[in-house]
């Protein structure tokens, strides 16, 4: 096989490794963000529960103050009873007292209702807090694991990039320039095998003489349709007996 073609095959294998590393590195931040979203959802639920409880306590205190205010009001009204001179005045004062009593009763009933709801809501809080703490621990472990993975993949990527630089020095500049153009044009695949007289990149059938030239391997042959560099692969018995699997490239 042509030495330059062999180097291009090696280069593409390395470039595909780097692409896979890039894919993994690009996915890690999103995975961490997704994990944090689960924790944030429980944190929000916990915050909302605490806000509801705080609101209930505030309402309960306000109702307690309202009851006290109305009781004071009722006490002042009752002091007027000693000064009344007619049954009409007496009846009017009693009616006012009853009205205040009704308001006090309504406030107390509402306060009782809130206290019951508050007790129920407060009872739910420990379970939410427990879920949050568990999710927080899980997320921290997951994040640490992903950060370690990120650092590992970055390190492996740098090693492979070093191998890439070594190979670049052995490839002719013009050939390398063409390789990069074809790579960009064909979704990261610039060098493909030939099987059944077809380019395995675009699956167009090649002319018989071109197939012979590729088999000989003295020169680098490009596909007339997709411009990828072509190389010959000797098929094993299993490959020749198995049906041809075509995938778009």
The token pair that represents 119 in the structure block: 């007790």
What's the pLDDT score for residue 193? 94
CB 195 within 8 Å of CB 244? yes
d(CA 114, CA 129): 22
State both tokens at 228.
Answer: 């990828």
- Confidence (pLDDT) at 229: 94
How confident is the model over 72-128, as pLDDT tens digits?
999 999 888 888 888 998 899 899 999 999 999 999 999 999 999 999 999 999 999
Q: What is the DSSP letter of 170?
A: T
Q: Which residue has the tokens 């896979």?
A: 20
Number of residues assigned to the chain: 249
Sorted by sequence, the CB contacts under 8 Å of residue 219 that are 6+ apart come out as 2, 213
Structure tokens at 249: 């490239």
Convert the pLDDT of each residue in 198-223 to its tens digit: 999 999 999 999 999 999 988 999 99
**Does residue 207 sit in helix, strand or coil?**
coil
Q: What is the pLDDT of residues 17-59, one digit of tens each?
A: 999 999 999 999 999 999 999 999 999 999 999 999 999 999 9
Asked whether 146 and 25 are in contact (CB, 8 A), the reply is no
Per-residue pLDDT of 114-130, as tens digits, reads 999 999 999 999 999 99
| Per-residue confidence (pLDDT) for residue 240, from 0 to 100 | 42
DSSP symbol at 201? T
Q: Tell me, what's the pLDDT at 243?
A: 41
Say what the pLDDT of residue 142 is: 95
Residues 62 and 64: their CA atoms lie apart, in Å, by 5
pTM, 2 dp: 0.66
Q: Which of residues 247 and 234 earns the better pLDDT score?
A: 234
Other beta carbons within 10 angstroms of residue 194's beta carbon come to: 20
Q: How far apart are CA 232 and CA 212, in angstroms?
A: 9
Count Cα neighbours of 194 within 13 Å in the Cβ-side half-sphere.
24
């Amino acid at each position: 096989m042509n030495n330059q073609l062999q180097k291009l095959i090696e280069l593409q294998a390395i470039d595909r490794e780097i692409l896979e590393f890039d894919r993994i590195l690009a996915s890690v931040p999103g995975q961490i963000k997704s994990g944090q979203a689960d924790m944030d959802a429980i944190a929000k639920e916990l915050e909302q529960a605490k806000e509801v409880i705080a609101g209930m306590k505030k309402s309960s205190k306000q109702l307690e103050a309202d009851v006290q205010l109305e009781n004071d009001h009722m006490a002042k009204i009752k002091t007027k009873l000693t000064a009344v001179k007619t049954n009409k005045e007496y009846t009017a004062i009693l009616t006012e007292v009853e009205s205040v009593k009704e308001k006090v009763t309504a406030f107390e009933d509402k306060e009782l209702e809130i206290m019951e709801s508050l007790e129920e809501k407060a009872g739910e809080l420990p379970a939410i807090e427990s879920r949050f703490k568990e999710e927080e621990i899980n997320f921290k472990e997951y994040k640490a694991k992903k950060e370690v993975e990120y650092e590992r993949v970055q390190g492996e990527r740098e090693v492979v990039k070093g191998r890439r630089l070594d190979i670049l020095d052995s490839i002719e500049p013009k050939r390398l320039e063409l390789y990069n153009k074809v790579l960009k044009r064909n979704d990261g695949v610039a060098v493909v095998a030939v099987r059944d007289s077809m380019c395995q990149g675009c699956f167009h059938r090649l002319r018989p003489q071109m197939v012979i030239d590729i088999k000989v391997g003295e020169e680098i042959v490009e596909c007339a349709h997709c411009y990828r560099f072509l190389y010959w692969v000797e098929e094993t018995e299993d490959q020749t007996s198995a049906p041809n699997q075509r995938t778009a490239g």
